[in-house]
Amino acid sequence: MSNDHAHAPAHVDDDEHNPHLAHHFDTMGQQTASAKLGMWLFLATEILMFSGLFLAYFILRMFYPEMVLEAHEHLSKWAGGINTVVLLSSSYTMALGVRSIQLGDAKKLRLMLVLTMLCGCIFMVVKYFEYSAKFEHGMLPGKFYSAHLHGYEIEGLPHIFFGVYFLMTGLHGVHVVIGLAIMLWMFIRAGRGEFSAKNYVAIENTGLYWHLVDLVWIFLFPLLYLVK
C-alpha cells in the first residue's frame, strides 16, 4: 500500500483560492477523496445495520415458513411494485443530477433534484396508503396485532411477520425521509451556486446515499411482497 493521499502539486494554486477548501486539508483532491471514503464507510455501516434486520427476517422465515407465506399474501403487490418503479426512476434522475453538475449545469441539477424528491414523495404517499390499510385491518406488530378481530385468519404467529414488516419498511421509510431532507438542503445550496464542476462531492454523496436507499428497497420488495 503506497502513499495514497493527495499531495500532488497539481491545482495547488487553484485550491488556495477555493472557498470550499476546509482549513485542515491541503488540496481539494484530498478533501474530495476524504469525503468520498467517508461516505462509502457510512454506507457500509448502513448495509450492516439493515443486514441485521435481514438476518432476523431469514430466521423468522426459517422458523415459520408457512406463516410467512400466508401472511405475505396480505401485502399489496401492486403498491410494492409501483413503489419499486418509482424508486428506480428516482435513482435514475439522481444519477442524471450528479452527471449534470459534473458538467457544470447547476440548473439541470436542481431540476433533477426536484424530480427525485417528487419520486420520494410519491413513494411515501403510497407507503401511507399501504400502512393505513394495514392499520385498519389490525395487521399490526406484536401485541397490537388484531387482524383476527377484523375477519382475517392467518395461521401461526403472523404478529411476528408484521412486526418485521413494519420494522424493515419503517426503518427504510425513515431513510427515505432523511434522503428527502438532504436533497432539499442540496437544492437550496445549489440555488446559492455552491456547486460546480469542480465542487460536487456533496451531490455525489447524496446520490450514493439515495442509491443505497433504493438498493435496500430492491431487497425488501421481493423478500416481503414476493415470497412465493
149 interacts with another protein by CB under 8 A: no
CB atoms within 10 A of CB 77: 12
48 interacts with another protein by CB under 8 A: yes
Diameter over CA atoms, the chain: 73
206 interacts with another protein by CB under 8 A: no
200 interacts with another protein by CB under 8 A: no
How is 148-184 classified by DSSP, letter by letter?
GGGT---SS-HHHHHHHHHHHHHHHHHHHHHHHHHHH
**Least distance in angstroms from the C-beta of 227 to another protein:** 18
Touching another protein, residues 107-136 (CB under 8 A): none
Touching another protein, residues 83-102 (CB under 8 A): none
Closer Cβ to another protein, 56 or 111, answer by number:
56
Instruction: Single out the residue of 94, 164, 203, 216 in contact with another protein (rule: CB under 8 A).
Output: 164
Contacts of 94 (CB under 8 A, 6+ apart): 112, 116, 206, 207, 210, 211
Touching another protein, residues 14-33 (CB under 8 A): 22-24, 26, 30, 33
Question: Cell 477523496 identifies what position?
Answer: 33
CA–CA separation, 11 vs 28, rounded Å? 8
Cβ pair 74, 154 in contact under 8 A: yes
Selected range binding another protein among 91-99, 142-150, 209-217, 218-226, rule: CB under 8 A: 142-150
**Least distance in angstroms from the C-beta of 55 to another protein:** 8
Selected range binding another protein among 47-55, 110-118, 130-138, 205-213, rule: CB under 8 A: 47-55
Question: Cell 403510497 identifies what position?
Answer: 126
Instruction: Single out the residue of 118, 122, 157, 208 in contact with another protein (rule: CB under 8 A).
Output: 157
Instruction: Single out the residue of 11, 18, 53, 211 in contact with another protein (rule: CB under 8 A).
Output: 53
Instruction: Single out the residue of 19, 52, 151, 193 in contact with another protein (rule: CB under 8 A).
Output: 52
CA–CA separation, 44 vs 94, rounded Å? 20
105 interacts with another protein by CB under 8 A: no
Cα angle 131, 89, 44 (rounded to 5 degrees) comes to 80
CA–CA separation, 30 vs 45, rounded Å? 23
Strand partners, 196: 199
Residues that bind another protein (CB under 8 A): 1-7, 22-24, 26, 30, 33-34, 37-38, 41-42, 44-46, 48-53, 55-56, 59-60, 63-64, 141-144, 157, 159-160, 162-164, 167, 171
